[in-house]
């Protein structure tokens, strides 16, 4: 009697969905039965589902690998090799590495080298790329053409999968905030291509940022920045000409370049939502950065600060205020507003004309308590205005409410003033100058508006210019 087990006698059945063949391995021979198969990846949606399943499985493999290797993913330049070595005996890893919508290449995915098992859930981990092996990198490698609707699949560190269109690539998160290089700590990624286009025009055409500075402002890679410049045709020297009757040019300040020369320890991580640039009428490449408000004090203490220097009443409680942006109107006006956690709100309106920039700042008491000692600090920084970068207060005139700064030649002036000014002063280390106002006390529900002025003057009699400005009735 034969020693063959029942398991060995049992016919083995294998199905090949690729060929539509049923193979029966029996004791007396091999039988082939042909049948019609509808492959599950024939339709675009099915291919997308399979691709998403691939990414899901690869993410789980990486998690298992990390669990068995000291909590670390494989080296990013060996991740494909590592997964095949780890899991190849238990399953066809090579098949999982291929997108069903692509006919070529051993692997159609890349790994984000900045992701690790402890990354924030919304950091990119794996994503679709051109065919390759052990590929790693950032958004410059992400492919959005493998599937319909010009979109590609992305696996996040938290395990979720997203179908990202080309316009959404710039909004993806590639780093944990705490792990960003120092120069990218304050970067803000544009949410879409329209925002990216607008900011690149702002930074490259007008502020003349280097690629490094654009990177610091946006968090984009150098390759991504150059690709976007080519896509939008934005290059230095390409900005459109402005008409002779155009108002003064006012733009949101993009960050990425510190607006100060010195005393940087007094303005760590400056936030851009309070800052705007005003370009001089005599030099299109020169501008001042106006910070409104740089700080707000009240009877509660330091109630708002547009950078990190000392604790506000919020940072002392571990409360981080959300980052905001200017609203840029089509006619050149800028508007911004913020409501603080206790209900106190403030806002700024900026309106450029040919002769001056008119500003308004309002405070609204949305709380149930009275606010007193509402002192405001508004700053004009001259680092990027040619001839005005001298580290001195000898070039300034303080005549409440007017404060003026002259250039090295002594014939050009930048002038600012605020209604309710109670402290005209300058800081030679920055360099900057101030006409700082004070709001009246605010009862619950009350709102008050103060008006400000900024202009440029060419001449030697600045006191007479103050009188002319006063005669315009700018405070009305």
**What size, in residues, is the chain?**
476
| Cα–Cα distance for residue pair 123/139, rounded to 1 Å | 12
Neighbours of 187 (CB within 10 A): 19
Sorted by where each begins, the domain ranges of the chain are: 1-37, 44-177, 184-232, 250-471
Neighbours of 178 (CB within 10 A): 7
Those residues whose C-beta lies under 8 Å from the C-beta of residue 133, and which sit 6 or more positions away, are: 80, 105, 106, 107
| Cα–Cα distance for residue pair 411/325, rounded to 1 Å | 35
CATH number of 250-471: 2.70.98
- b (16+ CB within 10 A) / e for 372-408: eebbbbbbbbbbbbebbebeebebbbbeebbbbbbbe
pLDDT of residue 26: 40
Measuring CA to CA, which residue among 174, 425, 188, 436 is closest to residue 323? Answer: 188
Condensed to tens digits (0 to 9), the pLDDT of residues 268-320 reads 999 999 999 999 999 999 999 999 999 999 999 999 999 998 999 999 999 99
Contact (Cβ atoms closer than 8 angstroms) between residue 441 and residue 371: yes
Contact (Cβ atoms closer than 8 angstroms) between residue 431 and residue 391: yes
pLDDT of residue 137: 83
Measuring CA to CA, which residue among 291, 258, 275 is closest to residue 325? Answer: 275
Q: pLDDT tens, position by position, for the chain (476 residues)?
A: 333 333 333 333 333 333 344 443 443 344 444 434 334 446 888 888 999 999 999 999 999 999 999 899 999 889 999 999 988 855 568 889 999 888 788 999 999 988 999 999 999 999 999 999 999 888 878 888 888 777 899 999 999 999 988 778 777 888 887 766 777 778 998 988 899 999 999 999 999 998 889 999 998 888 888 889 999 999 998 999 999 899 999 999 999 999 999 999 999 999 999 999 999 999 999 999 999 999 999 999 999 999 998 999 999 999 999 999 999 998 999 999 999 999 999 999 999 999 999 999 999 999 999 999 999 999 999 999 999 999 999 999 999 999 999 999 999 999 999 999 999 999 999 999 999 999 999 999 999 999 999 999 999 999 999 999 999 999 98
Residue appearing with tokens 């959005």: 144
Confirm whether pTM is higher than 0.75: no
| Cα–Cα distance for residue pair 441/2, rounded to 1 Å | 103
Measuring CA to CA, which residue among 291, 331, 324 is closest to residue 309? Answer: 291
pLDDT of residue 205: 97
Residue appearing with tokens 């060995």: 8
Measuring CA to CA, which residue among 289, 378, 290, 300 is closest to residue 340? Answer: 300
CA angle in degrees (0–180, nearest 5) for 189-192-198: 80
Please, is 28 exposed, middle or buried when counting C-beta atoms within 10 Å of its C-beta (0-12, 13-18, 19+)?
exposed
- Residue 233, both tokens: 């045709």
pLDDT of residue 335: 98
């Amino acid at each position: 009697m034969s020693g063959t087990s029942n398991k060995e006698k049992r016919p083995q059945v294998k199905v090949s969905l690729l060929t539509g063949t049923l193979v029966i391995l029996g004791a007396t021979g091999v039988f082939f039965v042909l049948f019609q198969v509808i492959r599950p990846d024939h339709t675009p949606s099915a291919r997308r589902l399979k691709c998403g399943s691939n990414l899901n499985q690869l993410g789980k493999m990486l998690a298992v690998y990390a669990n068995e290797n000291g909590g670390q993913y494989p080296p990013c330049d060996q991740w494909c090799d590592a997964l095949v070595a780890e899991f190849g005996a238990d399953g066809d890893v090579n098949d999982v590495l291929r997108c069903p919508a692509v006919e070529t290449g051993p692997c159609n995915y890349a790994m984000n080298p900045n992701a690790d098992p402890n990354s924030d859930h919304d950091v990119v981990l794996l994503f679709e790329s051109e065919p390759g092996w052990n590929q790693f990198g950032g958004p410059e490698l992400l492919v959005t053409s493998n599937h319909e609707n010009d979109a590609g699949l992305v696996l996040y560190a938290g395990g979720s999968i997203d179908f990202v269109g080309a316009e959404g690539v710039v909004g993806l998160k590639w780093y944990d905030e705490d792990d960003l290089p120092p120069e990218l700590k304050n970067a803000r990624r544009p949410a879409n291509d329209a925002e990216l286009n607008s900011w690149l025009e702002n930074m490259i055409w007008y502020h003349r940022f280097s690629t490094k500075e654009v990177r610091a402002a946006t968090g984009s890679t150098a390759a991504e920045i150059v690709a976007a410049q080519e896509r939008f045709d934005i290059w230095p020297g390409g900005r459109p000409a402005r008409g002779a009757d155009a108002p003064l040019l006012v733009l949101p300040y993009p960050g990425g370049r510190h607006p100060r020369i010195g005393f940087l320890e007094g303005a760590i991580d400056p936030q851009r939502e309070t800052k705007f640039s005003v370009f001089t009428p005599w030099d299109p490449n020169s501008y001042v950065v106006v910070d409104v408000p740089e700080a707000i004090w009240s009877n509660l203490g330091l109630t708002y600060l547009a950078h990190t220097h000392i604790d506000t009443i919020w940072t002392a409680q571990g409360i981080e205020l959300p980052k905001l942006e200017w609203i840029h109107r089509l006619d050149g006006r800028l508007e911004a507003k913020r409501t603080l956690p206790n209900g106190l709100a403030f806002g700024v309106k900026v309106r450029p004309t040919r002769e001056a920039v008119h500003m308004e700042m309002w405070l609204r008491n949305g709380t149930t308590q009275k606010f007193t000692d509402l002192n405001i600090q508004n700053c004009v920084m001259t680092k990027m205005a040619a001839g005005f970068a001298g580290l001195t207060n000898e070039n300034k005139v303080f005549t409440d409410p007017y404060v003026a700064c002259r250039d090295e030649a002594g014939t050009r002036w930048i002038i600012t003033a605020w209604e309710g000014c109670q402290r005209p002063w300058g800081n030679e280390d920055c360099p900057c100058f101030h006409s700082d106002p004070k709001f009246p006390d605010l009862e619950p529900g009350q709102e008050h508006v103060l008006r400000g002025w900024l202009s440029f003057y060419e001449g030697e009699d600045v006191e007479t210019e103050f009188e002319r400005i006063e005669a315009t009735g700018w405070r009305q």
